[in-house]
């Protein structure tokens, strides 16, 4: 990459997570070096210093898109955006980092999948990136590889699927094992929460009814299928005391489950996606096949038109006047989503997008390793471990008679019972 030089962003309102103020920002060698009023005295700018006038504008941290699938091979298809096109699009929207998913086939190595995704991404990425890794099957090898990925490869999040039966889906006991491992190695468990068994049955039912169009996609996996799996994942994670991140929460029912768990103090996060906030599933019933089909995703957009507002409101609980510094009288989220478009995007200290023009090359982005036991999450997990671990009741030991049950004998009795019933 070319030398990055120095950049002064002048006179904008700098917005951080805790407060905002009008200030200059000096960036040098890809790092923010100074923040303050009038960093540069009047007069000619020193050589090699580029000045961006941000008067009357917001200066925001680059966005991180935590859920992307670039050039993802899936059931014989592939995402149209590769790591070049997709990360360029990200920069145009002010997103300077993506987190994609390395997804191994059932039975194959997690580390190999991770290296494969890196080999696809490294030469192509225009913005920084990191990788989640999916756990699509369970074995001692998987368990070992998760540790290696967390300790040596910068992976601190693992995704488990409760849907895609026969392809990626894990059973409850495997989820329990995977969540337990996440806890041991300081990772966060992620779930695609939909009841995979019910989806298979639902699909059969829709086909039998002659429903083969995009509406069948939603009909075979209605809200309850998502809400049930969401609650199940939260229950398992809570038993293990492992932090949980529910990817793409798409329905009011599932969002309520997540919100309730959070109110109860569980370490659970629900992920919104733009589609779920911006539109709804009534489009599946469009008479135009293309229009309807373009709205298909899993879990599906919901036909209840009040869903986007409901999901947006839950987000607004998190980004609200309450969490802002008192003097601030505007809402960051509104500023970003409803009223603003990125004019300039800076990545690694360089202007990479300005007035609709890119100045970036494939491979300019870098892989960002993430460390295990992230404090933001694991401080709470540690606290819960300390306060929520049950202890035995102190009592005098039992001294009475002990009777041993004989399981094998009981099984035989059971079979005998079945035979008798069969003949009657």
Ligand X SMILES: *[C@@H]1O[C@H](CO)[C@@H](O)[C@H](O)[C@H]1NC(C)=O
Residues in contact with ligand X by CB under 6 A are 2, 350, 359
- DSSP code string of 41-64: -SSPPPTTEEEEE-TTSEE-PPEE
Contact 360, 352 (CB under 8 A): yes
Residue closer to ligand X (CB basis): 235 or 359: 359
Closest CA to 247 of 301, 201, 190: 190
Helix (H/G/I), strand (E/B), else coil: 323 = helix
Phi, psi of 245 (to 5 degrees): -125, 110
Contact 29, 23 (CB under 8 A): no
C-alpha distance across the termini of the chain, in Å: 82
Residue closer to ligand X (CB basis): 2 or 396: 2
Helices and strands: H and E segment counts in the chain: 14, 17
- DSSP code string of 230-272: HHHHHHHHHHHT--EEE----SHHHHHHHHHHHHTT--EEE--
Q: CB 352 → ligand X: shortest distance, Å?
A: 8
Q: CB 84 → ligand X: shortest distance, Å?
A: 17
Residue closer to ligand X (CB basis): 7 or 185: 7
Residue closer to ligand X (CB basis): 151 or 359: 359
Residue closer to ligand X (CB basis): 277 or 343: 343
Q: CB 44 → ligand X: shortest distance, Å?
A: 19
Contact 269, 294 (CB under 8 A): no
Residue closer to ligand X (CB basis): 3 or 407: 3
Q: CB 51 → ligand X: shortest distance, Å?
A: 14
Q: CB 350 → ligand X: shortest distance, Å?
A: 5
Q: CB 14 → ligand X: shortest distance, Å?
A: 23
Q: CB 360 → ligand X: shortest distance, Å?
A: 8
Residue closer to ligand X (CB basis): 181 or 350: 350
């Amino acid at each position: 990459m070319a030398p990055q030089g120095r950049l002064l962003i002048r006179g904008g309102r700098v917005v951080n997570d805790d407060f905002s103020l009008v200030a200059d920002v000096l960036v040098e060698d890809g790092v923010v070096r100074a923040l303050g009023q009038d960093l540069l005295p009047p007069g000619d700018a020193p050589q090699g210093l580029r000045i961006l006038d941000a008067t009357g504008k917001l200066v925001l941290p680059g966005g991180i898109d935590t859920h992307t699938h670039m050039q993802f091979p899936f059931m014989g298809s592939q995402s149209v955006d590769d790591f070049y096109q997709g990360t360029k699009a990200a920069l145009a929207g002010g997103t300077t980092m993506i987190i994609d998913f390395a997804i191994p086939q059932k039975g194959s190595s997690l580390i190999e999948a991770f290296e494969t995704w890196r080999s696809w991404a490294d030469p192509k990425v225009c913005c920084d990136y990191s990788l989640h890794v999916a756990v699509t099957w369970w074995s001692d090898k998987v368990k070992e590889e998760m540790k290696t990925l967390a300790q040596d490869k910068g992976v601190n999040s693992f995704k488990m699927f409760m849907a895609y039966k026969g392809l990626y889906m894990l059973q409850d006991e495997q989820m329990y094992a995977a969540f337990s491992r996440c806890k041991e190695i300081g990772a966060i468990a992620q779930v695609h929460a939909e009841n995979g068994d019910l989806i298979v049955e639902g699909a059969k039912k829709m086909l039998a009814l002659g429903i083969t169009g995009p509406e069948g996609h939603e009909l075979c996996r209605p809200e309850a299928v998502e809400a049930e799996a969401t609650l199940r994942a939260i229950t398992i994670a809570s038993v293990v005391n492992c932090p949980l991140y529910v990817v793409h929460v798409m329905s009011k029912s599932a969002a309520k489950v997540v919100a309730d768990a959070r109110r109860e103090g569980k370490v659970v996060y629900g992920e919104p996606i733009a589609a779920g906030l911006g539109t709804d599933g009534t489009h599946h019933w469009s008479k135009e096949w293309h229009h309807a089909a373009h709205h298909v995703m899993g879990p599906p957009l919901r036909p209840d038109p009040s869903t986007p507002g409901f999901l947006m409101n839950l987000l607004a609980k998190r980004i609200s006047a309450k969490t802002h510094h008192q003097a601030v009288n505007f809402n960051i989220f509104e500023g970003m989503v409803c009223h603003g478009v990125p004019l300039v995007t800076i990545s690694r200290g360089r202007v990479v997008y300005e007035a609709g023009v890119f100045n970036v090359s494939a491979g300019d982005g870098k892989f960002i390793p993430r460390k295990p036991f992230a404090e933001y999450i694991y401080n709470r997990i540690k606290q819960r471990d300390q306060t929520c671990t049950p202890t035995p009741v102190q009592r005098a030991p039992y001294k009475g008679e002990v009777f041993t049950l004989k399981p094998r004998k009981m099984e035989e009795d059971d079979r005998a019972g079945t035979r008798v019933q069969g003949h009657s």
